[in-house]
Structure 1
Amino acid sequence: MSACDMAPKYVTPALPVPAGSPSGPAYPEAAPGQTAIQPADTAWRDFFTDQRLVRVIEMALANNRDLRVAMANVEQARAQYRVQRADLLPTIAGRGSATYQDMPFAQQQQPGAGAAAGASGRTDIYSASVGISAWEIDLFGRIRNLSKAALEQYFASVETRNAAQVALIAETATAWLSMAADQERLRISQDLASAFGKTLELTRARFAKGIASELDVRQAQTSYDQARSDIAEATTLVAQDQNALNLLAGSTVPAEDLPSAMPQGDVTLANLPADLPSTLLLRRPDIMSAEHQLRAANANIGAARAAFFPNISLTAAFGTLSAGLSNLFAAGSDYWSAAPSASLPIFDFGRNQGNLRYSRATYDAMLATYEGSVQTGFREVADALARRGTMTAQVEAQTSLREAALAGYRLSEARFRAGVDPFLTTLDAQRTLYNAERSLLATRLARAANMIELYRAMGGGLK
């Protein structure tokens, strides 16, 4: 009864990417003496260091509706696997029946008796049995391969759910940081609007005394109005960020867990590796899901091949039969039956051949999907590493630019008040400072988001 397996022997495809991470001037080098963490082995609660953010992520994992859908899909796949696996074993069913019939007799059966016209006889038959019906004996592995395919689909749904969790953690953390950055942007706009307002008042006073021109007043007004416009825009963005965060969290995030400004320090661990062997990409849940889909397609080929061979089934029953209900279980009333059958397709007009070709084409598609997932994962890691390699220098440059712009603004304002420089110089310094503040904020946000993306791309977020 050991079944044959008609499925091709599965071999894990070779990775269609380089063995190691790319190198070059954009990529970071490993810091000497620093022990890098392994993202896939680092729990997300340990990776994120801000406890407010940790609590928000916990809310998202508990309440997010998209994640609930992914979990429901896992349960659906598990149930489908149990249904398919049940076909390997016979279904045992009990059956009871009663037959009542009244049939006319053509003549009496006793010798010497005349025919009794219109005579009739009633017959009651009762039966009870336990048996199996049309159980397919899986000699060629058709049902076993279908069961294996259903199992791999279940495993794929589990990994898809894991991928949804990883993505949800990254999206929630990024949304939280975006709100922090917009809160900081709002503060910068308010501070600069206050400074620009004072400059506008001073310029108007100088104009009233005939020291400044109307052009100076109009130019000061433009800077002040631009800051006011940016305050309104930043206020809107903060409200929208909170709405997005509430959607990801699946509930209203408490006010004490919302960021009030961009954190000065890192909200994540910083000692992520500078490079990783490509084989570690196989731990990413999206790539694992693609491989399980590939294994399922390989098993379906075996099921399609088995359809070319005879289908052997068995129907059997054991029970009792009696002409009276009181004698149904009496001695001598038992009976049994067995009806094995076999069928071999002769002319199916290409149906089985078409199913086999479809299974092979599906495998080719799943193979391309798997290789594409590996290549996409490699690119995501490479892009995140390239961004990380230049982030430190960019933040340092933006910080220096902001300090220089602030010093230049203060000097130009002092020279303007002293009557040394025209107001246009002060106006240019104000705008330079404003742009420098916003650029530094955007760079700090990009650096924090890059750490989250690198952690996600390297397979972190499952623990």
Structure 2
Amino acid sequence: MNSPNAQGPTDVRSTNRLAPRASLAMMLVLLAGCSFSDLKPQSHLLKPTDVSQTLADSAVSLSPAAWPTENWWISFKDPQLDALIKEALANSPSLRSAAAKVRQANALEAIEGAGLLPHVDAAMSSTRERFSSNGTTPVPVRGTWQNVNQATLNVGYELDFWGKNRAAVEAAVGRRHALEVDERAAVLLLSASIVQTYIALQNSYEQMDVAQTLLLQQEQIEKLTRQRFAAELDTQIDIKQSQASLPASRANIAALKELIELNQNKLASLLGKGPDRGRTITRPHLQSSNTVVLPTNLPAELIGHRPDVVAQRWRVEASGHEIDVAKARFYPDVNLTSFIGLQSLGFDTFSERSSRIVGFAPAISLPIFEGGRLRGNLDAQDAAYDLAVENYNQTVIDALRDIADQLSSLRWLKERLAQQNEAVATAQAAADLVNKRYAAGLATYLQVLATENSTLTETRQLVDLKSRALSLQANLSRALGGGYMPKILAPENASPSLAGN
């Protein structure tokens, strides 16, 4: 008596027929994998340990919590600046453009995601047709006119054995994340531009204060020169010299007023408003911070705090998945299609049960000879991956250099400010002394003019240095990422994952 588990002759023959087919399929898959095994990316991601940031001589304090806050500009303690940035973030066309790119990426991701799901569609047709008298159509339809009616519900699904569709979705996800971070980078760029323009506006006002003070002094000296001339202590030449400096000072004040309006116009543009909005911006009152504090583990943590670095990292991730897509194209595509519906000649029997049609059609396609198209596509994706990696590496290096530049400037600015304050005090003391001697008839106008010019030059430089201190404070916050904290980081391993890499 045969065992229930014993195989009969038919089972053995079926197994014998399937074995060669399975072996052939396995051989084709292996050949497909070998056909691109020599193609692979050449670049590698820069690791935090590969770069160093020397802070030992930077004269700044280190703190684990020294990263800027998201609203880093409030450290300047100017309510008008806070309101301007808030207005810009709500109205800027550049930010709306960045948001539109994110929405577009979301839509493209949804399109790629559709490849992971079955697709279902319905079709209906009614054709008036004359069948050939000499064709294969049997009697009585042969040589007659008939209405061919058909309605079907079609279902198709691609079996993603090699992960092609999944990799395409992951690539779209990476591009979307990159654009989301680009949107945050646009916010940082906009806020930093407003702060820098606002600092320039304050500098223009302060330079105008210096110019107006100088003009007042020149008017007083011109009046004193006339008195000296009346007392026969000076000549007409001295009067003309004292008068000559007045138009130049007034012209300088006019130029500074022009610069103020230009900065107001620029601020209005950054706000997404017309020039009239700029005229309502009053004089800034920014306050500089006397302390600078940096994060302790700067190179490693910078990768997650700079929007430009994070965005490039996501582009590397997307490029890695594009390589996986290109590799999967070397393998067979397996598609399943089926349909169910009704078909009949004429409408009288169309809805009858006997008019139903059902079909199921699995299909396998394997690229055999593509003229190098698939290899060229993979080679191009490898190069695109290398480009994304090197762009990422350069962005990390540039970010560290950006911070180092701000630290170098801040360190030497402190000494420059101290020396410049001393220079201004010395020049002002010399000018006061010469002015007193001139009033007493013990100094010439040329001496007055020389000390006046010296005081003006040194005071202008001091004003510029104070503005530079504010600018460096803003630049350091921007260089440290402007308070950006990613919601999700790109995976550490962004290398293409399919076999053959």
Measured against the shorter chain, the TM-score band is 0.7 to 0.9
| 1:248-397 equivalent positions in 2, closer than 5 A | 248-252=270-274, 258-260=281-283, 263=286, 265-266=287-288, 270=291, 272-273=293-294, 276-282=297-303, 283-325=305-347, 327-397=349-419
Of the three residues 13, 18, 22, the one matched with 2:51 is 18
Q: 1: distance between equivalents of 2:242 and 2:180?
A: 60
Return the offset for 1:42: 4.6
DSSP 3-state at the match of 1:250? coil
Q: Deviations over 1:156-188 (max 9, x none)?
A: 111111111111111101111111110121122
Of the three residues 212, 231, 256, the one matched with 1:234 is 256
Report what 2:110 is aligned to: 82
**Alignment TM-score, normalising by the size of structure 2:** 0.80
Of the three residues 149, 152, 165, the one matched with 1:126 is 149
Q: Deviations over 1:270-328 (max 9, x none)?
A: 55327652112112110011111111111111111111111222332111223453543
Q: Deviations over 1:348-404 (max 9, x none)?
A: 111111111111111111111000000000011111111222333332332332233
1:433 and 2:455 matched:
yes
Report what 2:60 is aligned to: 29
DSSP 3-state at the match of 2:283? coil
1:59 maps to amino acid: E
**Alignment TM-score, normalising by the size of structure 1:** 0.86
Report what 1:59 is aligned to: 87
Q: Which moved more, 1:438-447 or 1:205-214?
A: 205-214
- Whether contact under 8 Å (1:137, 1:314) holds in the other structure is yes
Q: Which moved more, 1:246-255 or 1:425-434?
A: 246-255
Q: Which moved more, 1:268-277 or 1:64-73?
A: 268-277
- Whether contact under 8 Å (2:228, 2:234) holds in the other structure is yes
Report what 1:92 is aligned to: 120
- Whether contact under 8 Å (1:17, 1:378) holds in the other structure is no
Q: Which moved more, 1:333-342 or 1:153-162?
A: 333-342
Return the offset for 1:124: 2.8
Q: 2: distance between equivalents of 1:417 and 1:297?
A: 78
1:384 maps to amino acid: Q
Q: Which moved more, 1:331-340 or 1:191-200?
A: 331-340
Report what 1:185 is aligned to: 207
Return the offset for 1:130: 1.1
Q: 2: distance between equivalents of 1:136 and 1:183?
A: 68
Report what 1:154 is aligned to: 176
Report what 2:423 is aligned to: 401
Report what 1:110 is aligned to: none
Report what 1:111 is aligned to: none
Q: 2: distance between equivalents of 1:103 and 1:30?
A: 92
- Whether contact under 8 Å (1:15, 1:371) holds in the other structure is no
DSSP 3-state at the match of 2:452? helix
Return the offset for 1:340: 2.0
- Whether contact under 8 Å (2:155, 2:338) holds in the other structure is yes
1:410 and 2:441 matched:
no
Report what 1:447 is aligned to: 469
Q: Which moved more, 1:401-410 or 1:78-87?
A: 401-410
Q: Which moved more, 1:63-72 or 1:391-400?
A: 391-400
Q: Deviations over 1:96-153 (max 9, x none)?
A: 12233355879xxxxxxxxx9xx974433322211135x4322112222222111111
DSSP 3-state at the match of 1:332? helix
Question: CA 1:223–1:420 in structure 2 vs 1: closer, same or farther (change >3 Å)?
Answer: same
Q: Deviations over 1:161-217 (max 9, x none)?
A: 111111111110111111111012112212211211221232234235431134433
Q: 2: distance between equivalents of 1:208 and 1:36?
A: 71
Of the three residues 438, 442, 448, the one matched with 1:420 is 442
Q: 2: distance between equivalents of 1:162 and 1:427?
A: 53
Return the offset for 1:12: 5.5
Q: Which moved more, 1:387-396 or 1:292-301?
A: 387-396
Question: CA 1:302–1:84 in structure 2 vs 1: closer, same or farther (change >3 Å)?
Answer: same
Q: 1: distance between equivalents of 2:167 and 2:129?
A: 48
- Whether contact under 8 Å (2:152, 2:341) holds in the other structure is yes
Number of residue pairs aligned between Structure 1 and Structure 2? 441
1:55 maps to amino acid: A
Q: 2: distance between equivalents of 1:102 and 1:136?
A: 37
- Whether contact under 8 Å (1:176, 1:258) holds in the other structure is no
DSSP 3-state at the match of 1:127? strand
Q: Structure 1: 5+ residue runs without aligned partners?
A: 1-5, 107-115
Q: 2: distance between equivalents of 1:38 and 1:315?
A: 59
- Whether contact under 8 Å (1:36, 1:271) holds in the other structure is no
- Whether contact under 8 Å (2:128, 2:148) holds in the other structure is yes
Q: Deviations over 1:11-30 (max 9, x none)?
A: 86413753444443xx2232
- Whether contact under 8 Å (1:274, 1:385) holds in the other structure is no
DSSP 3-state at the match of 1:210? coil
Return the offset for 1:58: 0.8
Report what 1:3 is aligned to: none
Q: 2: distance between equivalents of 1:36 and 1:411?
A: 52
- Whether contact under 8 Å (1:405, 1:433) holds in the other structure is yes
1:43 and 2:66 matched:
no
- Whether contact under 8 Å (2:123, 2:151) holds in the other structure is yes
Q: Which moved more, 1:10-19 or 1:443-452?
A: 10-19
Q: 2: distance between equivalents of 1:48 and 1:298?
A: 43
2:146 maps to amino acid: T
- Whether contact under 8 Å (1:8, 1:298) holds in the other structure is no
2:101 maps to amino acid: N
DSSP 3-state at the match of 2:361? strand
